[in-house]
Amino acid sequence: MNIIELKNIYFEYEEGEPVLNGLDLSLGAGECLLVLGDNGSGKTTLFRVLNGLSFPSKGEYLFKGVAITADYLKDNSQTKRFHKDIGYLFQNTDTMLFNSRVYDEVAFGPRQMGLTDSEVDQRVMDCLRLFDIEALKEKVPYHLSGGQKKMVALASIMALSPEVLVLDEPFAGLDQKREASLLEFLAELKAAGKTLIIATHKEEMFKDLVDKVIRL
Amino acid sequence: MLPEWMTKTEDYAPPKDGGAFYRKTLKSLGGIMKRLKVEGGKEGRFSLPAWLKIILLLGLIILVSVVQDRLIIMACGALVLVRLAMMPAGDIWGVLKTTIFAGVFCAVLVTPAVIMDPARLSNSLRLVLKVMICVTAVGEFNRTTQWNHVTGALRKFHVPGVIIFIMDITFRYIVLLGKLMEELLTAVELRSVGRNDKKYASVGGIMGVTFLRGSEMNKEMYEAMQCRGFTDDYEGL
Protein backbone atom coordinates (compact mmCIF):
# COMPACT_ATOMS: atom_id res chain seq x y z
CA MET A 1 0.00 0.00 0.00
CA ASN A 2 1.15 3.50 -0.74
CA ILE A 3 1.95 5.60 2.28
CA ILE A 4 1.43 8.87 0.45
CA GLU A 5 -0.89 9.51 -2.47
CA LEU A 6 -1.61 12.86 -4.02
CA LYS A 7 -4.37 12.89 -6.61
CA ASN A 8 -4.72 15.88 -8.92
CA ILE A 9 -3.68 18.41 -6.28
CA TYR A 10 -4.20 22.12 -6.89
CA PHE A 11 -3.16 24.91 -4.55
CA GLU A 12 -3.23 28.66 -4.98
CA TYR A 13 -2.68 31.54 -2.62
CA GLU A 14 -5.14 34.41 -2.44
CA GLU A 15 -2.90 36.60 -4.52
CA GLY A 16 -1.16 35.28 -7.61
CA GLU A 17 -0.90 32.20 -9.79
CA PRO A 18 -1.58 28.65 -8.56
CA VAL A 19 1.59 27.04 -7.22
CA LEU A 20 0.48 23.40 -7.49
CA ASN A 21 -1.25 22.48 -10.73
CA GLY A 22 -2.84 19.03 -10.82
CA LEU A 23 -0.01 17.24 -9.01
CA ASP A 24 -0.17 13.42 -8.89
CA LEU A 25 2.17 11.40 -6.73
CA SER A 26 2.38 8.08 -4.93
CA LEU A 27 5.04 6.88 -2.53
CA GLY A 28 5.47 3.55 -0.75
CA ALA A 29 7.45 2.58 2.34
CA GLY A 30 11.20 2.85 1.88
CA GLU A 31 10.98 5.08 -1.18
CA CYS A 32 12.83 8.32 -1.62
CA LEU A 33 11.35 11.24 -3.54
CA LEU A 34 13.37 14.22 -4.65
CA VAL A 35 11.48 17.47 -5.15
CA LEU A 36 13.26 19.87 -7.46
CA GLY A 37 12.36 23.36 -8.57
CA ASP A 38 13.41 26.96 -8.58
CA ASN A 39 12.87 29.25 -5.61
CA GLY A 40 9.18 30.00 -5.26
CA SER A 41 8.13 27.05 -7.40
CA GLY A 42 5.96 25.57 -4.63
CA LYS A 43 8.23 23.09 -2.84
CA THR A 44 7.49 24.46 0.62
CA THR A 45 3.79 24.71 -0.24
CA LEU A 46 3.79 21.04 -1.22
CA PHE A 47 5.48 20.20 2.08
CA ARG A 48 2.89 22.20 3.99
CA VAL A 49 0.16 20.21 2.24
CA LEU A 50 1.92 16.92 3.03
CA ASN A 51 2.11 17.90 6.70
CA GLY A 52 -1.51 18.97 6.96
CA LEU A 53 -0.62 22.63 7.50
CA SER A 54 -2.33 23.77 4.28
CA PHE A 55 -5.08 22.09 2.35
CA PRO A 56 -5.36 21.82 -1.43
CA SER A 57 -8.07 23.82 -3.17
CA LYS A 58 -8.77 20.79 -5.35
CA GLY A 59 -7.70 17.15 -5.34
CA GLU A 60 -7.12 14.56 -2.67
CA TYR A 61 -4.27 13.79 -0.29
CA LEU A 62 -4.23 10.28 1.19
CA PHE A 63 -1.87 9.30 4.00
CA LYS A 64 -1.88 5.54 4.67
CA GLY A 65 -5.13 5.42 2.74
CA VAL A 66 -6.84 8.11 4.86
CA ALA A 67 -7.85 11.43 3.29
CA ILE A 68 -6.08 14.27 5.10
CA THR A 69 -8.56 17.11 5.23
CA ALA A 70 -9.28 20.00 7.59
CA ASP A 71 -12.20 17.99 8.97
CA TYR A 72 -10.06 14.92 9.59
CA LEU A 73 -7.48 17.00 11.46
CA LYS A 74 -10.13 18.59 13.67
CA ASP A 75 -9.89 15.44 15.75
CA ASN A 76 -7.04 16.04 18.18
CA SER A 77 -6.12 12.38 18.51
CA GLN A 78 -5.98 11.82 14.73
CA THR A 79 -3.90 14.98 14.30
CA LYS A 80 -1.38 13.85 16.89
CA ARG A 81 -1.07 10.37 15.33
CA PHE A 82 -0.62 11.94 11.90
CA HIS A 83 2.09 14.34 13.14
CA LYS A 84 3.83 11.44 14.90
CA ASP A 85 3.96 9.54 11.61
CA ILE A 86 5.33 12.35 9.48
CA GLY A 87 8.34 14.46 10.49
CA TYR A 88 9.04 17.80 8.87
CA LEU A 89 12.38 19.61 8.84
CA PHE A 90 11.76 23.28 7.99
CA GLN A 91 14.02 25.11 5.58
CA ASN A 92 14.69 27.62 8.35
CA THR A 93 15.49 25.46 11.36
CA ASP A 94 15.81 28.59 13.51
CA THR A 95 12.05 28.55 13.85
CA MET A 96 11.94 24.95 15.04
CA LEU A 97 13.85 25.36 18.28
CA PHE A 98 12.13 26.85 21.31
CA ASN A 99 13.50 25.03 24.37
CA SER A 100 16.19 26.25 26.72
CA ARG A 101 18.44 23.17 26.40
CA VAL A 102 19.26 20.90 23.48
CA TYR A 103 18.34 17.89 25.64
CA ASP A 104 14.86 19.33 26.31
CA GLU A 105 14.45 20.17 22.63
CA VAL A 106 15.01 16.55 21.61
CA ALA A 107 12.99 15.23 24.55
CA PHE A 108 9.98 17.48 23.78
CA GLY A 109 8.19 14.92 21.58
CA PRO A 110 9.08 11.66 23.39
CA ARG A 111 8.00 13.14 26.76
CA GLN A 112 4.47 13.43 25.37
CA MET A 113 4.28 9.87 24.10
CA GLY A 114 3.62 8.19 27.43
CA LEU A 115 7.13 6.69 27.59
CA THR A 116 8.95 6.15 30.89
CA ASP A 117 11.72 8.59 31.86
CA SER A 118 14.41 6.03 31.05
CA GLU A 119 12.86 5.35 27.63
CA VAL A 120 12.77 9.07 26.90
CA ASP A 121 16.38 9.42 28.02
CA GLN A 122 17.35 6.44 25.85
CA ARG A 123 15.73 7.99 22.78
CA VAL A 124 17.25 11.41 23.38
CA MET A 125 20.76 10.09 23.91
CA ASP A 126 20.47 7.79 20.87
CA CYS A 127 19.46 10.75 18.71
CA LEU A 128 22.19 13.01 20.08
CA ARG A 129 24.72 10.26 19.39
CA LEU A 130 23.33 9.63 15.92
CA PHE A 131 23.88 13.24 14.87
CA ASP A 132 27.11 13.65 16.83
CA ILE A 133 25.76 16.42 19.05
CA GLU A 134 26.11 14.79 22.48
CA ALA A 135 28.50 17.53 23.57
CA LEU A 136 25.78 20.13 22.95
CA LYS A 137 23.12 18.59 25.16
CA GLU A 138 23.30 21.28 27.88
CA LYS A 139 23.67 24.18 25.42
CA VAL A 140 21.00 26.70 24.52
CA PRO A 141 19.75 25.83 20.99
CA TYR A 142 19.36 29.50 20.05
CA HIS A 143 23.09 30.13 20.45
CA LEU A 144 24.23 27.24 18.24
CA SER A 145 25.60 27.60 14.72
CA GLY A 146 23.31 27.08 11.71
CA GLY A 147 24.61 23.54 11.04
CA GLN A 148 24.32 22.55 14.70
CA LYS A 149 20.77 23.89 14.85
CA LYS A 150 19.89 21.78 11.83
CA MET A 151 21.25 18.66 13.54
CA VAL A 152 19.33 19.43 16.74
CA ALA A 153 16.12 20.00 14.77
CA LEU A 154 16.61 16.72 12.93
CA ALA A 155 17.36 14.87 16.17
CA SER A 156 14.18 16.28 17.73
CA ILE A 157 12.14 15.00 14.78
CA MET A 158 13.80 11.58 14.71
CA ALA A 159 13.15 11.14 18.44
CA LEU A 160 9.50 10.66 17.42
CA SER A 161 10.51 7.89 15.00
CA PRO A 162 8.31 9.06 12.10
CA GLU A 163 7.55 6.77 9.17
CA VAL A 164 7.86 9.57 6.66
CA LEU A 165 10.53 12.24 6.79
CA VAL A 166 10.03 15.47 4.88
CA LEU A 167 13.21 17.52 4.54
CA ASP A 168 13.24 21.03 3.10
CA GLU A 169 16.77 21.82 1.89
CA PRO A 170 18.49 19.56 4.45
CA PHE A 171 22.01 20.36 3.25
CA ALA A 172 21.71 24.14 3.35
CA GLY A 173 24.28 25.52 5.78
CA LEU A 174 26.02 22.19 6.46
CA ASP A 175 29.74 21.58 6.09
CA GLN A 176 31.02 18.65 3.98
CA LYS A 177 31.53 16.36 6.97
CA ARG A 178 27.97 16.85 8.18
CA GLU A 179 26.64 16.50 4.63
CA ALA A 180 28.33 13.12 4.31
CA SER A 181 27.08 11.86 7.67
CA LEU A 182 23.55 13.09 6.95
CA LEU A 183 23.54 11.33 3.59
CA GLU A 184 24.71 8.12 5.28
CA PHE A 185 21.96 8.49 7.89
CA LEU A 186 19.30 8.96 5.19
CA ALA A 187 20.51 5.83 3.37
CA GLU A 188 20.18 3.83 6.61
CA LEU A 189 16.74 5.26 7.19
CA LYS A 190 15.64 4.29 3.70
CA ALA A 191 17.01 0.80 4.17
CA ALA A 192 14.95 0.56 7.37
CA GLY A 193 11.80 1.18 5.32
CA LYS A 194 11.25 4.85 6.09
CA THR A 195 9.90 7.08 3.35
CA LEU A 196 11.93 10.17 2.47
CA ILE A 197 10.77 13.32 0.70
CA ILE A 198 13.56 15.79 0.08
CA ALA A 199 13.61 19.24 -1.51
CA THR A 200 17.08 20.14 -2.67
CA HIS A 201 19.17 22.01 -5.18
CA LYS A 202 21.93 19.40 -4.81
CA GLU A 203 20.32 16.70 -6.95
CA GLU A 204 23.57 14.89 -7.70
CA MET A 205 24.20 14.08 -4.03
CA PHE A 206 21.14 11.84 -3.89
CA LYS A 207 21.72 9.82 -7.05
CA ASP A 208 22.23 6.54 -5.11
CA LEU A 209 19.26 7.16 -2.86
CA VAL A 210 16.48 8.50 -5.02
CA ASP A 211 13.57 6.46 -6.46
CA LYS A 212 11.37 9.23 -7.84
CA VAL A 213 11.90 12.81 -8.86
CA ILE A 214 9.38 15.57 -9.41
CA ARG A 215 10.16 19.01 -10.73
CA LEU A 216 7.80 21.82 -9.75
CA MET B 1 23.99 2.83 12.91
CA LEU B 2 20.31 3.44 13.66
CA PRO B 3 19.01 2.53 17.11
CA GLU B 4 16.58 -0.39 17.09
CA TRP B 5 13.49 1.64 18.11
CA MET B 6 13.99 3.91 15.11
CA THR B 7 13.80 1.06 12.62
CA LYS B 8 10.50 -0.33 13.95
CA THR B 9 7.01 0.76 12.95
CA GLU B 10 5.23 1.94 16.10
CA ASP B 11 1.52 1.40 16.62
CA TYR B 12 1.02 4.65 18.42
CA ALA B 13 -2.10 5.73 20.31
CA PRO B 14 -1.66 9.30 21.58
CA PRO B 15 -2.50 9.96 25.24
CA LYS B 16 -5.43 12.33 25.71
CA ASP B 17 -4.62 16.00 26.07
CA GLY B 18 -6.98 18.82 27.00
CA GLY B 19 -8.02 21.06 24.13
CA ALA B 20 -6.47 22.09 20.84
CA PHE B 21 -4.32 24.63 22.62
CA TYR B 22 -1.77 25.40 19.90
CA ARG B 23 -4.32 25.31 17.12
CA LYS B 24 -6.41 27.97 18.86
CA THR B 25 -3.37 30.09 19.66
CA LEU B 26 -2.21 29.87 16.05
CA LYS B 27 -5.60 30.84 14.75
CA SER B 28 -5.95 33.89 16.97
CA LEU B 29 -2.38 34.93 16.25
CA GLY B 30 -3.05 34.81 12.52
CA GLY B 31 -6.09 37.05 12.99
CA ILE B 32 -4.12 39.57 15.03
CA MET B 33 -1.26 39.56 12.52
CA LYS B 34 -3.56 40.50 9.68
CA ARG B 35 -4.74 43.53 11.63
CA LEU B 36 -1.21 44.55 12.56
CA LYS B 37 -0.14 44.98 8.95
CA VAL B 38 0.80 48.60 8.33
CA GLU B 39 -0.96 49.44 5.11
CA GLY B 40 0.10 52.43 3.09
CA GLY B 41 -2.65 55.04 3.24
CA LYS B 42 -3.98 56.46 -0.02
CA GLU B 43 -3.53 60.20 -0.35
CA GLY B 44 -5.72 62.12 -2.78
CA ARG B 45 -4.64 65.05 -4.92
CA PHE B 46 -6.00 67.57 -2.41
CA SER B 47 -4.83 65.72 0.69
CA LEU B 48 -3.53 67.90 3.53
CA PRO B 49 0.15 67.58 4.45
CA ALA B 50 0.83 64.87 7.01
CA TRP B 51 2.13 67.29 9.67
CA LEU B 52 -1.14 69.25 9.53
CA LYS B 53 -3.19 66.07 9.70
CA ILE B 54 -1.25 65.01 12.82
CA ILE B 55 -1.92 68.37 14.49
CA LEU B 56 -5.61 68.26 13.57
CA LEU B 57 -5.94 64.66 14.73
CA LEU B 58 -4.27 65.33 18.08
CA GLY B 59 -6.31 68.50 18.49
CA LEU B 60 -9.54 66.62 17.79
CA ILE B 61 -8.68 63.82 20.22
CA ILE B 62 -7.78 66.31 22.99
CA LEU B 63 -10.90 68.39 22.34
CA VAL B 64 -13.23 65.39 22.33
CA SER B 65 -11.57 63.98 25.46
CA VAL B 66 -11.78 67.13 27.61
CA VAL B 67 -15.00 68.75 26.46
CA GLN B 68 -18.28 67.94 28.25
CA ASP B 69 -20.63 69.98 26.06
CA ARG B 70 -22.81 67.57 24.11
CA LEU B 71 -23.16 69.99 21.20
CA ILE B 72 -19.38 70.23 20.64
CA ILE B 73 -19.03 66.45 20.82
CA MET B 74 -21.84 66.08 18.26
CA ALA B 75 -20.17 68.66 16.02
CA CYS B 76 -16.86 66.75 16.19
CA GLY B 77 -18.74 63.54 15.43
CA ALA B 78 -20.44 65.14 12.43
CA LEU B 79 -17.09 66.42 11.15
CA VAL B 80 -15.59 62.93 11.40
CA LEU B 81 -18.63 61.42 9.66
CA VAL B 82 -18.48 63.92 6.80
CA ARG B 83 -14.80 63.04 6.29
CA LEU B 84 -15.67 59.35 6.40
CA ALA B 85 -18.42 59.79 3.81
CA MET B 86 -15.84 61.18 1.37
CA MET B 87 -13.79 57.97 1.49
CA PRO B 88 -14.18 54.93 -0.82
CA ALA B 89 -16.75 52.33 0.27
CA GLY B 90 -14.15 49.69 1.16
CA ASP B 91 -12.29 52.12 3.41
CA ILE B 92 -15.52 53.27 5.08
CA TRP B 93 -16.34 49.70 6.04
CA GLY B 94 -12.75 49.12 7.23
CA VAL B 95 -12.88 52.18 9.50
CA LEU B 96 -16.40 51.40 10.74
CA LYS B 97 -15.49 47.85 11.71
CA THR B 98 -12.81 49.14 14.09
CA THR B 99 -15.14 51.86 15.36
CA ILE B 100 -17.94 49.39 16.09
CA PHE B 101 -15.53 47.04 17.84
CA ALA B 102 -14.13 49.89 19.98
CA GLY B 103 -17.64 51.14 20.77
CA VAL B 104 -18.89 47.71 21.84
CA PHE B 105 -15.73 47.09 23.88
CA CYS B 106 -16.13 50.42 25.66
CA ALA B 107 -19.83 49.79 26.25
CA VAL B 108 -19.04 46.44 27.87
CA LEU B 109 -16.52 48.13 30.14
CA VAL B 110 -18.92 50.82 31.34
CA THR B 111 -21.95 48.52 31.72
CA PRO B 112 -21.20 47.54 35.37
CA ALA B 113 -21.02 51.24 36.31
CA VAL B 114 -24.40 51.88 34.68
CA ILE B 115 -25.96 48.85 36.40
CA MET B 116 -24.73 50.02 39.81
CA ASP B 117 -25.83 53.60 39.24
CA PRO B 118 -28.35 54.16 36.40
CA ALA B 119 -27.85 57.92 36.75
CA ARG B 120 -24.49 57.43 35.05
CA LEU B 121 -26.10 56.28 31.82
CA SER B 122 -25.79 59.65 30.11
CA ASN B 123 -22.09 60.02 31.02
CA SER B 124 -21.39 56.45 29.97
CA LEU B 125 -23.02 56.95 26.58
CA ARG B 126 -21.01 60.13 26.14
CA LEU B 127 -17.83 58.19 26.89
CA VAL B 128 -18.71 55.50 24.32
CA LEU B 129 -19.45 58.22 21.76
CA LYS B 130 -16.12 59.96 22.48
CA VAL B 131 -14.23 56.70 22.03
CA MET B 132 -16.01 56.01 18.73
CA ILE B 133 -15.26 59.51 17.39
CA CYS B 134 -11.55 59.24 18.31
CA VAL B 135 -11.19 55.74 16.87
CA THR B 136 -12.93 56.80 13.64
CA ALA B 137 -10.65 59.83 13.32
CA VAL B 138 -7.54 57.67 13.81
CA GLY B 139 -8.87 55.16 11.27
CA GLU B 140 -9.44 57.92 8.73
CA PHE B 141 -5.95 59.29 9.33
CA ASN B 142 -4.48 55.80 8.93
CA ARG B 143 -6.23 55.23 5.62
CA THR B 144 -5.50 58.63 4.11
CA THR B 145 -1.86 59.14 5.08
CA GLN B 146 1.22 57.37 3.79
CA TRP B 147 3.41 56.01 6.54
CA ASN B 148 6.62 57.59 5.19
CA HIS B 149 4.86 60.98 5.26
CA VAL B 150 4.03 60.40 8.92
CA THR B 151 7.66 59.70 9.79
CA GLY B 152 8.69 62.74 7.73
CA ALA B 153 6.17 64.88 9.64
CA LEU B 154 7.46 63.63 12.99
CA ARG B 155 10.95 64.73 11.93
CA LYS B 156 9.49 68.20 11.23
CA PHE B 157 8.29 68.22 14.85
CA HIS B 158 11.93 67.62 15.90
CA VAL B 159 11.23 64.14 17.25
CA PRO B 160 14.69 62.48 17.54
CA GLY B 161 15.57 60.22 14.61
CA VAL B 162 16.25 57.24 16.85
CA ILE B 163 12.70 57.39 18.28
CA ILE B 164 11.17 57.59 14.80
CA PHE B 165 13.42 54.72 13.72
CA ILE B 166 12.28 52.49 16.59
CA MET B 167 8.64 53.38 15.96
CA ASP B 168 8.95 52.89 12.21
CA ILE B 169 10.67 49.52 12.50
CA THR B 170 8.27 48.34 15.21
CA PHE B 171 5.17 49.12 13.17
CA ARG B 172 6.51 47.93 9.86
CA TYR B 173 8.10 44.72 11.02
CA ILE B 174 5.89 43.57 13.86
CA VAL B 175 4.26 41.37 11.25
CA LEU B 176 7.62 39.59 10.77
CA LEU B 177 7.78 38.80 14.46
CA GLY B 178 4.20 37.56 14.24
CA LYS B 179 5.19 35.26 11.39
CA LEU B 180 8.20 34.02 13.36
CA MET B 181 5.92 33.24 16.28
CA GLU B 182 3.50 31.49 13.96
CA GLU B 183 6.29 29.27 12.58
CA LEU B 184 7.48 28.45 16.08
CA LEU B 185 3.94 27.53 17.08
CA THR B 186 3.67 25.35 13.98
CA ALA B 187 6.90 23.59 14.98
CA VAL B 188 5.49 23.05 18.46
CA GLU B 189 2.23 21.73 17.03
CA LEU B 190 3.99 19.31 14.67
CA ARG B 191 5.92 17.83 17.56
CA SER B 192 3.02 17.86 20.02
CA VAL B 193 2.13 14.25 19.49
CA GLY B 194 0.66 13.46 22.87
CA ARG B 195 0.07 15.03 26.24
CA ASN B 196 2.06 18.20 26.88
CA ASP B 197 2.17 18.90 30.61
CA LYS B 198 4.32 21.97 30.10
CA LYS B 199 2.27 24.02 27.64
CA TYR B 200 3.13 27.30 29.32
CA ALA B 201 6.84 26.46 29.31
CA SER B 202 6.57 25.96 25.54
CA VAL B 203 4.80 29.30 25.12
CA GLY B 204 7.45 30.92 27.34
CA GLY B 205 10.16 29.44 25.12
CA ILE B 206 8.45 30.79 22.03
CA MET B 207 8.16 34.26 23.57
CA GLY B 208 11.83 34.16 24.57
CA VAL B 209 13.02 33.10 21.12
CA THR B 210 10.79 35.73 19.48
CA PHE B 211 12.25 38.44 21.72
CA LEU B 212 15.84 37.36 21.03
CA ARG B 213 15.24 37.02 17.31
CA GLY B 214 13.44 40.38 17.27
CA SER B 215 16.34 42.25 18.83
CA GLU B 216 18.77 40.45 16.51
CA MET B 217 16.68 41.33 13.44
CA ASN B 218 16.50 44.94 14.58
CA LYS B 219 20.27 45.17 14.93
CA GLU B 220 20.88 43.47 11.59
CA MET B 221 18.40 45.72 9.85
CA TYR B 222 19.90 48.87 11.35
CA GLU B 223 23.38 47.79 10.23
CA ALA B 224 22.08 46.97 6.75
CA MET B 225 20.43 50.40 6.55
CA GLN B 226 23.66 52.08 7.67
CA CYS B 227 25.56 50.19 4.97
CA ARG B 228 23.12 51.66 2.46
CA GLY B 229 23.68 55.23 3.65
CA PHE B 230 21.02 55.68 6.36
CA THR B 231 22.10 58.44 8.76
CA ASP B 232 19.27 58.34 11.33
CA ASP B 233 17.63 61.17 9.37
CA TYR B 234 14.03 60.79 8.22
CA GLU B 235 13.68 64.28 6.79
CA GLY B 236 14.12 63.26 3.18
CA LEU B 237 11.56 60.46 3.25
Q: What is the ipTM of this complex?
A: 0.86
φ/ψ of residue A5, rounded to 5: -135, 125
Q: Considering CB atoms only, which of A88, A98, A163 is closest to B9? A: A163
Report the Cα–Cα distance between both ends of chain A, in Å, rounded: 25
Q: Which residues in chain B have their CB less than 8 angstroms from residue A122's CB?
A: 5
**Chain A / chain B CB contacts < 8 angstroms:** 106
Contacts of B192 in chain A (CB under 8 A): 80, 83, 109, 112
* DSSP bridge partners of A9: A23
Three-state SS letters, A4-31: EEEEEEEEECCCCCEEEEEEEEEECCCC
User: Do B194 and A123 lie within an 8 Å CB cutoff?
Assistant: no
Report which secondary-structure segment, H or E, holds A69: none
Of B191, B221, B213, B174, nearest in space to A143 by CA: B213
Percent of chain A with pLDDT over 70: 99
d(CA A35, CA A198): 6
> Based on the structure, what is the number of domains in chain A?
1
- Residues A161, B5: C-beta atoms closer than 8 Å: yes
Cβ atoms of B48 and B59 within 8 Å: the answer is: no
Classified as helix, coil or strand, A183 is helix
Tell me the CA distances in angstroms from A162 to A157, A192, B5, B232, one per residue in order. Answer: 8, 12, 11, 50
Query: Contact at 8 Å (CB) between A149 and A157?
Result: no
Q: What percent of chain B has pLDDT over 90?
A: 25
Give A155-195 pLDDT, tens digit per residue: 999 999 999 999 999 998 888 889 999 999 999 999 999 99
Write the CA distances from B122 to A167, B63, B72, B107, B114, integer angstroms. Answer: 63, 19, 16, 12, 9
CATH classification of the domain holding A32:
3.40.50.300
Long-range Cβ pairs for the range A203-211 (8 Å, 24+) = A203/A34, A203/A36, A205/A171, A205/A179, A206/A32, A206/A34, A209/A32, A209/A183, A210/A32, A210/A33, A210/A34, A211/A31, A211/A32, A211/A33
Q: Identify the domain containing residue A105 by its residue range.
A: 4-215
Q: How far is B114 from chain A (nearest CA, A)?
A: 42
Instruction: Check pLDDT > 70 for residue A62.
Output: yes
CB contact under 8 A, A192 and B6: yes
Backbone angles phi, psi at A205, to 5 degrees: -70, -20
How far is B171 from chain A, CA to nearest CA, in Å?
22
Q: How far is A72 from chain B (nearest CA, A)?
A: 14
- pTM for the full model? 0.75
User: Least CB-CB distance to B15: which of A109, A114, A189?
Assistant: A114
Q: What is the predicted pLDDT for the residue at B94?
A: 86
Nearest Cα residue in chain A from B191: A109
Could A90 and B187 be called an inter-chain contact, meaning their C-beta atoms sit closer than 8 Å? yes
Residue A38 neighbours by CB distance under 10 Å: 10
d(CA B168, CA B165): 5
Output B171 or B3, whichever has higher pLDDT.
B3
Chain B residues whose beta carbon lies within 8 Å of the beta carbon of residue A108:
191, 202
Residue B20: which pLDDT band, with cuts at 50, 70 and 90? low
Can you tell me whether residue B116 is helix, strand or coil?
A: helix
Nearest residue on chain A to B188, alpha-carbon basis: A96
Q: Could you tell me the residue ranges of all domains in chain B?
A: 19-41+158-237, 44-145
The Cα–Cα gap between A108 and A100 comes to 11
